[in-house]
Amino acid sequence: MQSSMETRTLLVLENFIGGKFVPCPSHIDSYEPSTGEVYCKVPDSGEEEVEAAVAAAKEAFPGWAAHSPEQRSQILTKLADLIEAHLDEFAQAESKDQGKTLTFARTVDIPRSVYNFRFFASSVLHHTDDCSQMDHMGCLNYTVRCPVGVAGLISPWNLPLYLLTWKIAPAIAVGNTVVAKPSEMTSVTAWMMCKLMQQAGVPPGVVNVVFGTGPRAGDVLVGHPDVPLISFTGSTATARLITERSAPYCKKMSLELGGKNPAVVFADADLDRCIETTVRSSFFNQGEICLCTSRIYVERSVYSIFLEKFVAAARKWKTGVPSDTGNSNGALISKEHLEKVRGFVALAKSEGATVHCGEGVDPLDLPERNANGYFMGATVISGVPQGSRVMQEEIFGPVTCVSPFDSEDEAVAEANGVRYGLAATVWSRDVAKVHRVAARLQAGLVWTNCWLVRDLKLPFGGMKMSGVGREGGKDSYHFFTEVKTITIKH
């Protein structure tokens, strides 16, 4: 009797196609990470649902593209205002759905989602085109930027609404229509946003959201001949499949992939500030941010004192129930992901590394209701060989490895010695050294004496297997439009 009662109270999501919510015949269970219980049914969309969404987006495209930038800007601003007006509801839903702390959702995820719409609503009004005179040929050349068409947007589970709006906002600001597929594990806030579309003045078909898995819904979307552009944030392995499916159609692609981000700490660094920031950069959002620090290289003369202080600080980074404002971390996204992250810690131990705190060392004190949740404490490991999978592969959890180095060249070589190249941090008071090392690091973003300071006007993206392309400000404008050169003979 109890299970049937629970079934009746489950949240059941619907796809949003052509301005209407459309039920789906089959569903996927979505779990609440902090309890391990099913609390939501997400559409298991396939070819039929994606085809309907692409058709709606294609039909809406000419009318939306014909809107002036000012008209589109007003609608994006209204949508931002509506999300902000419901900020706490969105934050509660994001925390419950993803496992992150309510504090993080309130202060980072939802405010940034609002700002994404506001930023691109404004920036679309300020781009200029090029003009070139060729008087000797009697010609005037100029460029215009045109929307591409239907944009396929696939966003991940770690920052669900934050990264979905980072794609939707620039795509529709410049006149594209979109078919978005959020992660099937974190779909609730995208569904909630769809409820606000009509009130914001978004015409039917401009934003379509199809829920489901990558192998079913995602595969149809990226391989659809009427979707000329794909923006994807997620794993490098999935990006390979997307590239293969998109290749026959020569699609425009932006791929923001994994990271194995190093911090390089020199002996002359402000160690107190460095440790405070690097604990945050290692464990923020359960370490489930592509920009998190997972390898810390420390100059040998300060290595011991750094490690001692860093472990002490990591122990103060509390893990527990997401709604408790005293906790820094909540639960990891899923049981499978927790097991994967734990597997890396076990591998490090089997290779002779030392686990100083967190997994297997410090037990977590959880209420009975959360005993089956996917929690893991902030974990610091030392003595991991550079060639170990633990140092080479993205873990995407609250785990970081600390290693000593002897020279600047060694630090740079080890920091660059992975297949990823998304972000890096450098800690030193020596201005010349900071510039020199930053220039040598193979990373799309390098922070010096800070972390996660983001200006949306600047390019965002990675090198090597951390991705292809850049987004943000002018880069998003260029990606979501096609440039056309027009020559007038007079």
- Supply the residues annotated as catalytic: 256, 290
| Furthest CA-CA distance within the chain | 86
Could you give the 3-state DSSP secondary structure of residue 374? Answer: coil
Contact 357, 317 (CB under 8 A): no
In order of 8, 19, 184, 191, the CA distances from 242 in angstroms are: 37, 27, 17, 24
The token pair that represents 164 in the structure block: 């979905």
CA-based R_g, the chain, Å: 23
Indicate the residue type of 45: S
- Single-letter amino acid code for the residue at 224: H
Residue closest to 209 by CA, chosen among 43, 96, 353: 43
CB-based burial of residue 222 (10 Å sphere; 0-12 exposed, 13-18 middle, 19+ buried)?
buried
The helix/strand count (H/E) of the chain reads as 18, 23
Q: Got the DSSP string for 15-35?
A: EEETTEEE--S-EEEEEETTT
CA dihedral 23, 233, 323, 278 (to 10 degrees): 180
Element spanning 11, H or E: strand 11-12
φ, ψ dihedrals at 405, nearest 5°:
-140, 160
Q: What angle do CA 182, 462, 300 make, to 5 degrees?
A: 120
Three-state DSSP at 269 gives coil
Strand partners, 179: 152, 208
